[in-house]
């Protein structure tokens, strides 16, 4: 098997330069590539386009890169909980493209799967439809949406083996599997890196063919946004 292991986050992101288009996995703060985000922060590259369902919070996740003004554009479905984000958006420092969540997920899958465009009903009749082809199938209207691809996809998995096979855990899976398929280079950080042969081939979520670099991350904080307990 092909060995994809790199030493750590800094080596993994070594060739990500200014103005790169990145995909970053996660939903809210769940399943985000914490180690790589910190490495990008340290690296200080600017002008990034970040495709990610959310934009983190003020002091965690992609929010950290916003604070340092490293992000030029966010492509997301929901960017709710971030005051610095709001400030930059209103001042015009930050561009934002909002995409319905299912369309975002499917456009990323399409990018990885070599499907340049597909029809979806989400957004018909709304401002999302502006400038897009509308076509009726079986009496219902649909929009034509294009694939999304990235220079680098950065995903976070629970376990991974040295050849890049990945397994996610719980709802930390979310956008990670599709993003893993849609990057020219896909970087995976995992909580536990295991030898080849240890993951059951029948239960692999992301086959290693999609992953170019993998490393075992450290000091995962896994911050919770809404700690909600039963009474």
Partner 1 sequence: MLDKTGIAKRIAKEVKDGMYINLGIGIPTLVANYIPTSLNVVLQSENGLLGIGPFPTEQEVDPDLINAGKQTITMMPGSALFSSAESFAMIRGGHVDLTILGAMEVSENGDIANWKVPGKMVKGMGGAMDLVASAKHIIVAMQHCSKEGASKLLRQCTLPITGIRCVKKIVSDLAVLDVLPEGGFKLLERAPGVTVTEIQQATAGKLIIEGEIPEMVF
Nearer to a copy of itself by Cβ, of 44 and 116: the residue is: 116
Taking the C-alpha atoms of residue 170 and residue 174, their distance in angstroms, rounded to an integer, is 9
Q: What is the DSSP letter of 199?
A: S
Distances 228 to 32, 53, 81 between C-alpha atoms, Å:
20, 22, 17
> Rule CB under 8 A: which of 107-146 touch a copy of itself?
110, 113-121, 135, 137-138, 140, 142, 146
> Rule CB under 8 A: which of 144-203 touch a copy of itself?
146, 167-170, 202-203
> Rule CB under 8 A: which of 172-201 touch partner 1?
172-178, 181, 196-197, 201
Residue 187 half-sphere exposure toward CB, CA atoms < 13 A: 31
Q: Using an 8 Å Cβ cutoff, are 190 and 215 in contact?
A: yes
Nearer to a copy of itself by Cβ, of 1 and 144: the residue is: 144
> Rule CB under 8 A: which of 210-229 touch partner 1?
210, 222-229
Q: Using an 8 Å Cβ cutoff, are 177 and 152 in contact?
A: no
Task: Verify binding: residue 154, partner 1, rule CB under 8 A.
Answer: no
Tell me which residues touch a copy of itself (CB under 8 A): 106, 110, 113-121, 135, 137-138, 140, 142, 146, 167-170, 202-203
């Amino acid at each position: 098997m092909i060995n994809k292991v790199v030493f750590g986050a800094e080596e993994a992101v070594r060739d990500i330069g200014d103005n790169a288009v990145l995909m970053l996995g996660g939903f809210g703060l769940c399943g985000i590539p914490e180690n790589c985000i910190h490495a990008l922060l340290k690296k200080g590259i600017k002008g990034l386009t970040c495709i990610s369902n959310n934009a983190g919070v003020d002091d965690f996740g992609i929010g950290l890169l916003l604070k340092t003004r490293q992000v030029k554009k966010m492509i997301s479905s929901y960017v709710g909980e971030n005051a610095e984000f709001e400030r930059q958006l209103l001042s015009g420092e930050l561009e934002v493209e909002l995409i319905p969540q299912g369309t975002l997920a499917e456009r990323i899958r399409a990018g990885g799967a070599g499907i340049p465009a597909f029809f979806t009903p989400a957004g018909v009749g709304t401002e999302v439809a502006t400038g897009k082809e509308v076509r009726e199938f079986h009496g219902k209207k649909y929009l034509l949406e294009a694939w999304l691809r990235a220079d680098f996809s950065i995903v976070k998995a629970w376990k991974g083996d040295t050849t890049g096979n990945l397994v996610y855990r719980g709802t930390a899976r979310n956008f990670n599997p599709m993003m893993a398929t849609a990057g020219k280079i896909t970087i995976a950080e995992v909580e536990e890196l295991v030898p080849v042969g240890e993951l059951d081939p029948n239960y692999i979520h992301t086959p290693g063919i999609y992953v170019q670099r993998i490393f075992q991350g450290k000091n995962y904080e896994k911050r919770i946004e809404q700690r909600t307990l039963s009474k």
